[in-house]
């Protein structure tokens, strides 16, 4: 589909089995200095540590299962999720897109620059083949490259989520992964409209990943039913 070959699972059942194995044996841990547990609003994440550890280990397992050659992530922020994706596929190329707006830390009220922190995180992890693109996604008519794995994780309101899903297709992906897909007031209606109106029979299968907020894996080819994978039952 996109000229990028992967060793990713070809069927829904194979994806489910590999994902459950990968999440069960996952030993990845968030970076001690650069993660959601150290960012400007860290108290929100620290108060729900087990749920967010599960969420980010699911990110790792999704990437490990897909084994992508090239990743484009819409909504990089400070790179916490990219850390999980790239740790699972360290040879993959990565393009992270965000407006990288600076925030103020809640504890010491100092500036918190996600672009700088992402660079420091990637350097600390030893990631080499990456590019961070500082831009407004609504200013793009297409993504900047082809990629077999596209992550949709930017603004979660209906209009932006729907626009990001359509933008994801311009990279010619084999897999699209949508974070926080269970939001009934925003992302979920956008996903439902996208799948019903924009895919035109191009879906092979979808896999719902059960963690806080939920994630949806979309494998492009033909339409099949959705399955639910619950890593907390492993």
Kindly report, residue by residue over 141-179, the tens digit of the pLDDT.
Answer: 999 999 999 999 999 899 999 999 999 999 999 999 999
DSSP state of 138: G
Half-sphere exposure of 121 (CA within 13 A, CB side): 28
pLDDT digits (tens, 9 = 90+) for 102-119: 999 999 999 999 999 999
> Per DSSP, what are the bridge partners of residue 175?
149, 219
Q: Which residue has the tokens 């626009």?
A: 163
Q: How confident is the model at residue 219 (pLDDT cuts 50, 70, 90)?
A: very high
d(CA 188, CA 94): 26
DSSP state of 42: H
Half-sphere exposure of 80 (CA within 13 A, CB side): 23
Query: By the 8 A CB rule, do 230 and 214 touch?
Result: no
d(CA 204, CA 221): 4
Say which CATH architecture domain 12-99+121-233 belongs to.
Answer: 3-Layer(aba) Sandwich (3.40)
Query: By the 8 A CB rule, do 58 and 215 touch?
Result: yes
pTM score: 0.92
């Amino acid at each position: 589909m996109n000229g990028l070959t992967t060793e990713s699972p070809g069927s829904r059942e194979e994806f489910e089995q590999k994902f459950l194995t990968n999440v069960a044996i996952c030993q990845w841990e968030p970076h001690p200095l650069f993660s959601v547990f150290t960012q400007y609003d860290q108290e929100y994440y620290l108060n729900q540590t087990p749920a967010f550890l599960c969420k980010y280990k699911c990110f790792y397992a999704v990437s490990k299962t897909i084994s992508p050659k090239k990743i484009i992530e819409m909504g990089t922020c400070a790179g916490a999720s990219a850390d999980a994706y790239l740790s699972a596929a360290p040879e993959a190329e990565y393009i992270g897109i965000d407006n990288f707006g600076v925030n103020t830390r809640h504890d010491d009220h100092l500036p918190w620059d996600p672009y700088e922190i992402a660079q420091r995180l990637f350097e600390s992890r030893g990631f080499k083949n990456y590019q961070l693109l500082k831009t407004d996604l609504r200013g793009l008519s297409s993504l900047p490259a082809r990629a077999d794995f596209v992550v949709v994780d930017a603004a979660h309101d209906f209009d932006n989520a729907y626009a990001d899903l359509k933008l994801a297709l311009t990279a010619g992906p084999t897999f699209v992964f949508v974070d926080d897909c269970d939001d009934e007031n925003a992302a979920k209606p956008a996903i439902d409209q996208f799948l019903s109106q924009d895919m035109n029979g191009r879906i092979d299968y979808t896999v719902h990943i059960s963690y806080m907020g939920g994630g949806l894996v979309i494998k492009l080819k033909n339409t099949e039913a959705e399955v639910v994978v619950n890593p907390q039952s492993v």
